[in-house]
Amino acid sequence: MSIDPNRFLADLHKLREFGASGIGKGVVRPAYSPADIAARKWLAGRMGEAGLEPHFDPVGNLFGLAPGTSLLMGSHSDSQPEGGWLDGALGVIAALEIARSSDQPISVVSFQDEEGRFGVTTGSAVWSGGLPLEQADQLTDGSGITFGAARSAMAELSKGFVEPSRFRGFIEMHIEQGPALDAAGQQIGVVSDIVGIRDMSITFEGQQNHAGTTPMHLRRDAFQALSLFNARLNDRFRNVVTPQTVWTIGRVDLHPNASSIVPGRVRFSMQWRDGDGDRLIRMEEIIRATAQQVADELSMTLSYGPMLGLEPVAMDPILRAALELGAEQVSPENWRGMPSGALHDATNVARLMPVAMLFVPSIDGISHDFAEDTTEDDLIAGLCVLEHAVRALAGRSE
C-alpha cells in the first residue's frame, strides 16, 4: 500500500473545518478551545481507523500508537488565535497518511499548545521533561486562565503519559513559516538545526520630566536611550552575525507614555537567534556592553529581566540523511538544507530521542495569519519525501 494524496488532502481540509475562521482558509483553534478539543477527538477517530491506538496524555497531547517500537511522526493541531490551516496540522495529517499507508510501525502525535497560549511549545515541553507539570499548571493565558484549569477540560480523556522509549525517533513536517523556499522557488527544506534563542527584557530608567520646560541638554529621556542603543547595536552586530542570524526589539513599553512628558523609563524586549551557541554568547556580550555604554553616556539606570534561553538543536544525522535522500528523489536539485529559525516541538522531543524536520514552502513567507498557504503540489511533495525517508530508514533497519 502506498500514500493516497487525495485522502491526505481531504483529511487536511476536514481538519480545517474545526475552528474555520470563514476568512480564506484560516482557522481559530487555540489550545483547549472547543474547536481544538473537537478536532483532537476527530483525529483520535481517524487514528483508530488507521489501526493506531488513540491515547490522550494528561496535558492533551494526542498519540496514535503503533504496537511495539515505532517511529514517531507528527506535530501539533492547535493554532494561533488567528492561524493558518496548515502550520502544525500539516505535520499531523501527513504523519497519519504515512502511518496508514506504510508497512513500517509508525506512531502519530499531535502535541498540545505548541502555539503558546500558556507557555512555549507547552505540551511537548511537559512530555519531554523540560517543563515540570506543576510549574506548567501555574502558567496563565492572556485572560488569566491557568494551564491547570484549561487542561482539566480534557481530563476525562487522559490515559497517562506515554513512555518515550517506545519510539526510536521523531520526524516533524511543518510549513517553513518564512520566505526562503518560496523566494528561491524550492519545494523542500531539510532542517539542519533549530536555532537557539535568547530573550530578555532591558530597562533604561532616566528622569520623567515636563516636555515643555525641560531643555534638551538636561533631559534623561529613556526613549532616546533605546533609540541610541538600537542604532549602535545594529552597527556592532554587522561584524558578528551571519545572514541567518536574526535579532528583534518587538516589544516596547514606555513610561508614562504621554506626548507631553519626557519618558522616564522604557522596558523593551531583546531577542536574538542563531544556530551557533558561541555566536549567541558573543551577541549577548555586545548587547550588554552597548546597553551599559548608552546608560553611562545618557545617565540612565540599566537593568535586565531574566534571560530565557534555548540552545541550538542539531538534527539527527541518520534521520536527516533519510529526509535528504527522499528530497533528492522527489524534487531533484529543488530542495535545500536550512536551519529552522522558529521553535518547534522537535526542540523538546530532542531531549528524548533522535529528531529531524522537513519544511515545505510558505507562500510569500506568511504564517500565523489567515492568509497562510502552500500549493497542493508542495504539500504532496512533502508527503512523498516522508514516504521515501521512512522506506530508506526501514531498509537500513532490516
Which is nearer to a second copy, 55 or 220 (by Cβ)? 220
Beta bridge partners of 303: 203
Query: At residue 239, what is the residue type?
Result: N
Q: Please provide residue 196's backbone torsions phi and psi, each rounded to the nearest 5 degrees.
A: -85, 155
Q: How far is the CB of 268 from a second copy (least distance, A)?
A: 9
The CA distance from 389 to 106, in Å, is: 12
Q: Which grid coordinates are listed for 262?
A: 519626557
- Residue 167 Cα distances to 73, 125, 318, 350, angstroms: 10, 17, 15, 12
Contact residue for a second copy among 216, 239, 306, 395 (CB under 8 A): 216
Contact residue for a second copy among 269, 293, 329, 334 (CB under 8 A): 269
Contact residue for a second copy among 146, 271, 293, 334 (CB under 8 A): 271
Which is nearer to a second copy, 302 or 371 (by Cβ)? 371
For residue 252, state whether it binds a second copy (rule: CB under 8 A).
yes
The CA distance from 247 to 255, in Å, is: 24
For residue 274, state whether it binds a second copy (rule: CB under 8 A).
no
How far is residue 338 CA from its own chain's centroid? 15
For residue 140, state whether it binds a second copy (rule: CB under 8 A).
no
**What is the DSSP code string of 243-301?**
TT-EEE---EEEES--TTEE--EEEEEEEEEES-HHHHHHHHHHHHHHHHHHHHHTT-E
Q: Which of residues 323-382 bind a second copy (CB under 8 A)?
A: 340-343, 365, 367-368
For residue 300, state whether it binds a second copy (rule: CB under 8 A).
no
Are the C-beta atoms of 188 and 330 separated by less than 8 Å?
yes
For residue 292, state whether it binds a second copy (rule: CB under 8 A).
no
Q: How far is the CB of 246 from a second copy (least distance, A)?
A: 6
Contact residue for a second copy among 149, 155, 218, 281 (CB under 8 A): 218
Which is nearer to a second copy, 58 or 365 (by Cβ)? 365
Q: How far is the CB of 374 from a second copy (least distance, A)?
A: 14
For residue 262, state whether it binds a second copy (rule: CB under 8 A).
yes
Contact residue for a second copy among 215, 306, 332, 395 (CB under 8 A): 215
In the chain the first and final C-alpha atoms are separated, in Å, by 19
- Closest by CA to 262, choosing from 203, 202, 206, is 206
For residue 245, state whether it binds a second copy (rule: CB under 8 A).
yes
Which is nearer to a second copy, 164 or 365 (by Cβ)? 365
**What is the DSSP code string of 43-96?**
HHHHHHHTT-EEEE-TT--EEEEPSSSEEEEEEE----TTB-SSTTHHHHHHHH
Contact residue for a second copy among 68, 185, 243, 332 (CB under 8 A): 243
DSSP annotation of 200 reads E
Contact residue for a second copy among 22, 259, 306, 395 (CB under 8 A): 259
How many residues in the shown chain lie near a second copy by CB under 8 A?
A: 59
For residue 143, state whether it binds a second copy (rule: CB under 8 A).
no
Q: How far is the CB of 254 from a second copy (least distance, A)?
A: 5
Beta bridge partners of 190: 337, 358
Q: Which of residues 173-202 bind a second copy (CB under 8 A)?
A: 176-180, 183, 195, 197, 199, 201
Interacting residues toward a second copy by CB under 8 A: 176-180, 183, 195, 197, 199, 201, 209-218, 221, 223-224, 226-228, 230-231, 234, 241, 243-254, 257-263, 269, 271, 273, 340-343, 365, 367-368
